[in-house]
Amino acid sequence: MAFTPTQQEAIDHDGNLMIVAGPGSGKTTTSVAKARRILSDPRRSLIMVTFTKEGAEEMRKRLEKAQLDAGQPPIAKHRLRVGTFHSIALQHLFEHRKHEKVLGPAQQGILLKEALTPFSSDLDLVKDIRKEFESFMYAIDRDAHEMSDPAAKVVNRYLERLRASRATDLYTVMRDCALFADNGTIPPMNYTDMLVDEGQDTDELQKVWIFAHARAGINVTIVGDDDQSIYEWRQALGYSGMKSFMDTFGAKRIELGDNFRCREEILTHAVMLVQNNKNRLIKHLVAQRGAGGKIASYHTASTETQCDELAELISRTPNSHTNVAVLARTNRSLNDLEMSLTEREISYIRLGKSIWDDAWVATYLSLLQSLVDASPVGVFGCLGTLGLDDAVKTELLQSMRGSADEFLEARVPDLENATATDASLIKEFAKACKYWRDQLRSQTGGSVNEVVLDVGEWLSSKQRSRRTKELIKRAASILGKLKGTISSRLSFIARNKKSSETAPITLMTMHASKGMEFETVHVIDANKPEDGSDLVNTEAERRLMYVALTRAKNRCFVWYSGEPHPTIPEAQLRVLHEFEKLVEIVDS
């Protein structure tokens, strides 16, 4: 394939190199071509470092395909290593040190969650402690690292349980590997070249590890874009890390400024925004697809109105919504939209936890499923709302022997562990289930809707949390507006929760969207926070919105209610107030 002059320059350069790759600039294609050129020399070997397993797998597949398309044999394993920082650090460290049992991310999460237990009632405090915990675990000098008292207690509890498990964790592996490589305790990895993808996301320890290899004479290429550094809570260095590499090793800088994704209008406003940042590498980005894009902000009366209007817009302009991302800062902002889309029977996929996966919404759906197929799980899930002891619930579940059919006919066995009050509550629940089941069998008009709403009302009445009550009622209301049987309605929801490459609408956070592209992008809930909490680091805010805007190829719309987030005027986005005008622009 043909490369641009700057891409070709990056591919051909030997020695330490910083590839400053703007959005949509073909950085992965360039990296793969550079890797193949390096490995065309049988005397050289390459280690390619990524941040995610998915990134490593994509890089590996792209390399294999390029080799195959060129009629070349697969690259020998001993000459190429592709993996995440953690997987490579594991290999590097244990080649030279005694191998230990290493806990995976899920197991680490269990220990941390338990260590956080004393503070679990204060969600904001837990969030802050988690940030301090990450900062400490990746600190080069842990002894000199300052922490709040709650964070120190959590760290101590975590480390005590880690020692008790007679294992180490990935934090420690990465830290030991970096520091040992830096001080010469272990030698650098035996490769001639290294390529680091998403270099702006490296933290201090990863930087130490990379620098140790560069000092040892390994040719290091870092590919990144400081304007897309959006993982501050992971201690990502961004601009400072990239600049330090160039300054320390005199690395050549090559800029990939040709954007092959965004129309000119979209890229222009995105650049207007990010240019307000002072701590950044200056770039010259060019939209190679030229003009013809649409970008604006739209002011809605409320977040609820926003979701209904966006769902209505998608419904009315299907030709402009065949490959769409809806982005939000938090998953919570996507929950109401998910409900609105379901209500209009618009197919979508949700990256991350679906609102339908909420524990009590899932319980509600499971009970409806039990009314259809007599699964005992849905019935069992509701027993906790009756205030029953675990022994009573377990005994009742065991009595069903894999089917709740008898229970759903209001035939409840005598339970050894149940008090008179328990027995009465269980019988009342069983009678209600029999009534709902009979309604579904009646085949009369509206019987399905009646059951859907009645079950939702019953379960919500058992909740203490106002939010949970409202959530169950909203779920019931939406399910009641769908058509068909209980099974068909539940199937529609289940399909939307599963990832599918053919789904026209994808819901995700702004952070999760990095590296992706869509024909149309909607950014929702772009409001100015009332407490100013999201405005502490204005440069980080600009980078996050910059990433969101540059996911769009042809159309990009930023939605807000109340006051706009400061990034909207900074990007100089036109503000629309009339819904019909928005529809006209989207569909034109």
Q: Which residues are annotated as a binding site?
A: 21-28
Residues 252, 16 contacting (CB under 8 angstroms): yes
Measure the CA angle with vertex 41, ends 36 and 45; round to 5°: 75
Q: How far is CA 369 from CA 132, 362, 406, in A?
A: 43, 10, 16
Q: Which helix (H) or strand (E) holds 522?
A: strand 518-523
DSSP string, 459-520: HHHT-S-HHHHHHHHHHHHHHHHS-S-HHHHHHHHHHHHS--TT-SEEEEETGGGTT--EEE
CA–CA dist 399, 462 (Å, integer): 24
User: Are β-strands 80-84 and 193-196 bridged in parallel, bridged antiparallel, or unpaired?
Assistant: unpaired
The binding site for ATP consists of 21-28
Phi, psi at 511, each rounded to 5°: -65, -40
User: Are β-strands 552-561 and 575-576 bridged in parallel, bridged antiparallel, or unpaired?
Assistant: unpaired
Phi, psi at 90, each rounded to 5°: -60, -50
Which amino acid makes up residue 453?
L
- Which tokens hold the place of 505? 């609408």
Residue ranges of E strands in 199-281 = 219-224, 252-256, 258-259
For 152, left (φ over 0), alpha (ψ -120 to 50), or beta? alpha
Residues 518, 550 contacting (CB under 8 angstroms): no
Residues 60, 32 contacting (CB under 8 angstroms): no
- Which tokens hold the place of 212? 């140790």
Q: Which residues neighbour 583 within 8 Å (Cβ) at sequence distance 6 or greater?
A: 313, 316, 317
- Which tokens hold the place of 230? 């959006």
Residues 237, 211 contacting (CB under 8 angstroms): no
CA–CA dist 189, 192 (Å, integer): 9
Residues 246, 221 contacting (CB under 8 angstroms): no
Residues 251, 195 contacting (CB under 8 angstroms): no
Phi, psi at 379, each rounded to 5°: -65, -45
